Amino acid sequence: MKIHRHLLVLCSVLWLTACATGGGVSTPPSINPQAQAVNTYRIGVDDQLQITVWQNPDLSVSVPVRPDGKITVPLIGDVIAGGKTPEEVAGDIKGKLTAYVRDPQVAVILTALRSHEYLSRVRVTGAVRTPVSIPYRQGMTVLDAVLAAGGTTEFAAPDRTELYRADAGVTTPYAIRLDKVLQQGDLATNYPVQPGDVITVPLRVF
């Protein structure tokens, strides 16, 4: 009886070890931090925000972002929104509301994107048929912008394409596998663009 009990315990340990090390158990795919960063939208002046505080309708309002980058929220007054993400603004509002509301649940939704930054242009340069500066449109992606430039030339190195995005005075490059987007339909790096983005397709090295 003791031998059988030991075997049962041993089998249980081996099974748990296999699960912990991934043997036969699938794990969720890792999140691409570059994809997260490139998809982040920063609120701008004149954008319209819907502030919702769960179970507190008197605190839920729709407000525009003023020229000073602030919004006014009932009970807590002014909150800085310009240059922040909706999630960051929701966190700031929640932090201030905790003095008045027990465990407030806050959601911030962009209902109208009207900021000057949002309405600015997207530029495509380098080895494309027609380098262009085009008006930003909601939902525009890297592929849309490149196609508006007439596509790449025969001298292009699309696998080394980069998207340059300025944020708070710092310009960050994001690698775009334009060759896979165009030839294989792989949209993993077909990121949504934002106003002011610059997409550069380099020349091949001969």
Whether residue 6 has pLDDT greater than 70: no
Q: What is the pLDDT of residues 99-133, one digit of tens each?
A: 999 999 999 999 987 776 666 789 999 999 999 98
- For 157-184, how does the pLDDT look when each residue is reduced to its tens digit (9 = 90+)? 999 999 999 887 789 999 999 999 999 9
**Banded model confidence at residue 18, pLDDT cuts 50, 70, 90:** very low
Entry pTM: 0.51
CA distance 12 to 6: 10
Q: Clarify whether residues 105 and 128 are in a common domain.
A: no
pLDDT for the residue 154 = 94
**Reduced to 3 states, what is the DSSP secondary structure of residue 189?**
coil
Is residue 189 pLDDT above 90, yes or no?
A: yes
How far, in Å, CA of 118 to CA of 138, rounded? 9
What is the three-class DSSP state of 61? Answer: strand
Instruction: For residue range 37-80, list pLDDT tens digits in order.
Output: 666 788 888 899 999 999 999 999 999 999 889 999 999 999 99
How far apart are the C-alpha atoms of 122 and 119, rounded to whole Å? 10
Is residue 166 assigned to a domain? Answer: yes
What is the DSSP track for 106-134? Answer: EEEEEEE---TTTTSEEEEEESBSS-EEE
Report whether 124 contacts 201 (CB < 8 A).
yes
Last residue of a domain, one of 68, 89, 112: 112
Domain-located, residue 25: no
Contact present, 181 and 142 (Cβ < 8 Å): yes
Structural domain including 178 reads: 121-201
**Listed residues 58, 89, 112: the one ending a domain:** 112
**Whether residue 83 is found in the same domain as residue 127:** no
Q: How many folded domains does the chain comprise?
A: 2
Residue identified by tokens 């691409």 is 32
- The reply to whether 35 falls in a domain is no
CA dihedral angle for residue 17, residue 18, residue 20, residue 22, rounded to 10 degrees: 160
Q: How far apart are CA 176 and CA 193, in angstroms?
A: 12
**Cα–Cα distance, 161 to 93 (Å, whole number):** 39
The chain-wide mean pLDDT, for the chain, equals 83
Whether the Cβ atoms of residue 32 and residue 89 lie closer than 8 Å to each other: no
CA distances (Å), 75 to each of 5, 79, 93, 167, in order?
64, 11, 10, 31
In a domain, 135, yes or no: yes
